[in-house]
Structure 1
Amino acid sequence: MSEKRELKETLLFEKNHRIHGGIYHKMQVDFAYNSNHIEGSRLTHEQTCYIFETQSVDGAVFVNDVFETANHFRCLDWVLDTISEPLSEEYVKQMHRILKAGLMTQQNPEVVIGDYKKYANVVGGIETAKPGEVSAQMAQLLQTYQNLQQPDFYEIAWFHMAFEKIHPFYDGNGRVGRLLLLKMCLENDIVPFYINSESKMFYYAGLKEWQTQGKPNRLLDVFLSMQDDMKAVLDYFEIDYDHTETTASTLAEQHKKWKL
């Protein structure tokens, strides 16, 4: 049996050496497809893979779907290249800038790319931060995260919930938030994960329950399930990871003892 490899180093090596068919290739395609599909992209998994592998498009597709897929690939590369950089407001804005670059909606003067939203919005029946509140709330959220000595699974999940509650951008908040999840997992040696499109409704319901009722269990269940899927992928590619079992009940107890 070959020696186990570390995930971060393997992803960077395969990215920099353009290794075809490895875990970097799979993560790029699967993450972009699922994260964009949750937000309404009409591209199939096969089309997403085709764009990544050939940098071209096959068939009639929507222009913005193609741009957002290609930009998502660039965002993941940027996460890997900046894995040691601390989170900041400018880091988050730059991720949004990369994700939304070149979209046809960029021609609308009311659309803000790479900066916070200009108008208040209600998402899933939840009032998000007003434009004048976003900067202060984002600064506080990021400071809270930076103050954590070694962020764990629960604290990273909490960050994602809080980020989506603020909803700092006019669009792209879910994708940016899930990319930040990936970065935080990788930099803290936590098995990363992405939400598959089949779990979309459970994911949204979990976010809403935590944001409005302070109940994290459903969202944590979704995250743990998606993490289990990733562990199976890591096993296939012989990538090393911490096999300590984390359960929703354990995380729920942590929530009771210490609420952020």
Structure 2
Amino acid sequence: MRYLSVAEIAKKWNISERSVRNYCAHGRVQGAFLTGKTWNIPENAEKPERSNKRKEYPITLLEILQEQKASKYPGGIYHKTQIDLTYNSNHMEGSRLTHDQTRYIFETNTIGVEKEVLNVDDVIETVNHFRCIDMIIDHAKAALTEKFIKELHLTLKSGTSDSRKDWFAVGDYKKLPNEVGGMDTALPEEVAGKMKALLTAYNAKE
């Protein structure tokens, strides 16, 4: 292997000789060694990154959500997404919790009410919904699968009164026919096939 001097490396990396010596002295140049007081540096050695290099901030929405989730950043888009999405989703399913109550549960993991009766399922599903959103953020880049959808349903319904009903398939497809808003839905025996077709089409999109 050919070795270069500090001066040659400084010219190659376009930095001062002092910086090269500092990198070598702190063990940041792989393969560099001293002969007396002279540094011998492999010609293919890579220039170390500056320790004070400016931090690269996330630029995509997913990266921002992931960073704010990890840092528990208050008041950002992750905070707003958790509260608004949970409130609206649960409200469509009949939850009686208000937006403020949903926010309070997310921010404090407690709920204070006076002269009001709350449905325990509404509170449990709200907390579970927060977990589901975290799961979606964590798996956002993975292909959407039946297994993951069932895991979300299991997480959402865990600990609710529905989970104690023999006929209610927590973490699985429905066992009994139903309707939504007066409209018929797929029969239980049709669900698996329709879900496979839907996921195939969804995952084929870029």
Coarse TM-score class (shorter-chain normalised): 0.5 to 0.7
| Structure 1 letter corresponding to 2:163 | Q
1:184-231 Cα offsets, whole Å, 9 max, x none, are xxxxxxxxxxxxxxxxxxxxxxxxxxxxxxxxxxxxxxxxxxxxxxxx
8 A contact 2:97–2:122 mirrored in 1: yes
Residue equivalent to 1:92: 149
Which structure 2 segments of 5+ residues have no match? 1-56
8 A contact 2:177–2:188 mirrored in 1: yes
| Structure 2 letter corresponding to 1:136 | G
Which structure 1 segments of 5+ residues have no match? 151-260
1:69 aligns with 2:126: yes
Q: Distance in 2 between matches of 1:30 and 1:65?
A: 15
1:117 aligns with 2:171: no
1:27 aligns with 2:81: yes
Q: Distance in 1 between matches of 2:159 and 2:204?
A: 36
Instruction: Decide which of 104, 108, 114 is 1:50's aligned counterpart.
Output: 104
Residue equivalent to 2:11: none
Point out the structure with the larger helix share. 1
| Structure 2 letter corresponding to 1:28 | Q
Q: Report 1 or 2 for greater relative contact order, CA contacts < 8 Å, sequence distance ≥ 6.
A: 1
TM-score by length of 1: 0.54
Q: Secondary structure at the match of 2:95?
A: coil
Could you tell me how far 1:124 is from its partner in structure 2? Answer: 2.4
Could you tell me how far 1:4 is from its partner in structure 2? Answer: 8.5
Residue equivalent to 1:105: 162
| Structure 2 letter corresponding to 1:34 | N
Could you tell me how far 1:123 is from its partner in structure 2? Answer: 2.1
| Structure 2 letter corresponding to 1:147 | A
Q: Distance in 2 between matches of 1:62 and 1:125?
A: 25
Q: Distance in 2 between matches of 1:79 and 1:94?
A: 11
| Structure 2 letter corresponding to 1:145 | Y
Aligned pairs, how many?
147
Identity %: 46
Supply the RMSD in Å over aligned alpha carbons: 1.5
TM-score by length of 2: 0.68
8 A contact 2:167–2:176 mirrored in 1: no
Q: Distance in 2 between matches of 1:44 and 1:147?
A: 38
1:1-260 counterparts in 2 under 5 A? Answer: 5-59=59-113, 60-148=117-205, 150=206
